[in-house]
């Protein structure tokens, strides 16, 4: 990676389509939350950096849950949402972001859905006003909590629908959480005008991606890593222009792939699949969106124009309002000197 390509990536206007709300909390944000709620999580940012340093998947879950436990009030939700948006805009060059939120975990910890909705919407307006970042929401089902969590998440999406909600998702573990059980929820979300963006094929085989397509009518696939094992599936994704939200560092951290060198990103591109590059839970996986673009540039052998095309594909695969798509694509053109 030449320094100049890294600089180009840093300044490139981007869209981020697969990044989790709580999973985006940085050590400095967690320090503030830990100061509000004294307990086992350190407030010292250097100690927090050590705590965050990715060791293995179990440790990642430990960090994630520790952060979840620090989000106890609507004001905490507002703070985190605003800070995540601010960081995307000011540090990563993001102009448009779809943030995956899991409202059910906050409601389970005692935050009423009405207060949660108001907090994220207030933060969304403030981030757009202060930093020019347009944010939208994806509400995802924490799959490990099963159908009751899906019922609740659907209720939040339909009966307490925030203005910024564009899509309905499904996260959590895939093993032992069959996708078809959530078909009625995705049908109801789709009928209400939401797009369907489940995680699939991250830690299980291509059959989970097929399930997401056939049973959940996925418009985009979160990860889809194992699709690389199934040429018919790749052909289907390419033919129907169903984008994959690829998160390379996350896939290595969770051992979905053994190493970056073995990541199937190039295989997706060579099969004609529309790929987008995203960061998933960046501070917890020791990465940033810029870093993921650098990795993609290495894996795909991209120059500046190739990297700009990758950014354009993310805008095209997004559910941004038409005027935002047009504006960000024009910004990319201008930046890339097209
Ligand atoms: Zn994810």
Query: pLDDT tens-digit profile of 110-119?
Result: 999 999 999 9
pLDDT for 275-293, tens place per residue? 999 999 999 999 999 999 9
Distance CA 150, CA 41 (A): 30
pLDDT at position 261, please?
Answer: 96
DSSP H helical segments within the chain, as ranges?
Answer: 3-11, 27-36, 45-52, 57-68, 74-92, 103-108, 113-131, 146-159, 183-191, 206-214, 231-239, 248-253, 265-270, 289-300, 304-316, 322-336
Query: What is the average per-residue pLDDT within 172-194?
Result: 95
User: Does 239 participate in catalysis according to the annotation?
Assistant: no
b/e per residue 89-124 (b: at least 16 CB within 10 A): beebbbbbbbbbbbbbbbbeeebebebbbbbbbebb
Tokens 């509000």 locate to 36
Q: Which residues surround ligand 1, an ion (CB under 5 A)?
A: 280
- Give φ, ψ of 244 to 5 degrees: -105, 140
Distance CA 247, CA 280 (A): 6
**DSSP for residue 201:** S
Residue from 217, 207, 213, 292 nearest 249 by CA = 292
Mention every residue, 6+ apart, whose C-beta is less than 8 A from residue 306: 297, 300
Ligand 1: centre distance to CA 20 (Å):
6
Which of 83, 174, 202, 294 does the annotation list as catalytic? 202
Q: DSSP secondary structure string, 126-163?
A: HHHHHH--EEEEEEEEEGGGHHHHHHHHHHHHHHS--T
pLDDT at position 58, please?
Answer: 85
pLDDT for 47-90, tens place per residue? 999 988 888 888 888 899 899 999 999 999 999 999 999 999 99
pLDDT at position 338, please?
Answer: 62
Ligand 1: centre distance to CA 338 (Å):
33
Distance CA 207, CA 195 (A): 21
Ligand 1: centre distance to CA 85 (Å):
17
Structure tokens at 218: 């996925």
Task: Name the maximum alpha-carbon separation found in the chain.
Answer: 53
Distances (CA, A) of 207 to 38, 147, 151, 201: 45, 21, 24, 8
CA quadruple 46, 47, 50, 51: dihedral positive or negative?
Answer: negative
Ligand 1: centre distance to CA 297 (Å):
21
Domain 3-337 has CATH 3.20.20.140: yes
């Amino acid at each position: 990676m030449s320094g100049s390509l890294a600089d180009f990536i840093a300044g490139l206007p981007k869209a981020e389509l697969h990044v989790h709300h709580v999973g985006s909390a940085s050590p400095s944000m967690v320090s503030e939350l830990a100061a509000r709620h004294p307990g086992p999580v350190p407030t010292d940012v250097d100690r927090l950096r050590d705590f965050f340093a990715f060791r293995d998947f179990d440790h990642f879950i430990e960090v994630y849950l520790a952060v979840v436990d620090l989000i106890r009030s609507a004001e905490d939700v507002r703070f985190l949402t605003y800070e995540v948006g601010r960081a995307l805009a000011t540090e990563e060059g993001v102009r448009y972001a779809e943030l995956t939120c899991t409202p059910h975990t906050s409601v389970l910890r005692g935050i009423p859905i009405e207060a949660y909705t108001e907090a994220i919407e207030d933060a969304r307006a403030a981030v757009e006003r202060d930093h020019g970042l347009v944010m939208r929401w994806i509400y995802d089902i924490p799959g490990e909590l099963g159908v009751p969590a899906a019922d609740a998440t659907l209720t939040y999406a339909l009966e307490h629908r925030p203005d910024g909600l564009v899509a309905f998702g499904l996260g959590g573990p895939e093993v032992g959480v069959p996708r078809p059980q959530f078909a009625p929820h995705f049908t109801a979300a789709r009928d209400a005008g939401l797009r369907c963006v489940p995680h699939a094929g991250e830690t299980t085989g291509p059959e989970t991606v097929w399930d997401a397509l056939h049973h959940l009518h996925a418009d985009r696939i979160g990860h889809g890593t194992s699709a690389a094992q199934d040429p018919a599936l790749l052909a289907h994704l390419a033919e129907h222009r169903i984008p994959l939200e690829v998160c390379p560092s996350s896939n290595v951290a969770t051992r979905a792939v053994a190493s970056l060198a073995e990541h199937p990103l190039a295989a997706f591109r060579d099969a004609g699949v529309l790929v987008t590059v995203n960061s998933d839970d960046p501070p917890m996986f020791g990465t940033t969106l810029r870093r993921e673009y650098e990795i993609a540039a290495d894996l795909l052998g991209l120059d500046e124009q190739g990297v700009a095309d990758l950014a354009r594909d993310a805008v095209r695969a997004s559910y941004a309002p038409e005027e935002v798509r047009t504006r960000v694509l024009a910004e990319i053109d201008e930046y890339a000197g097209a």
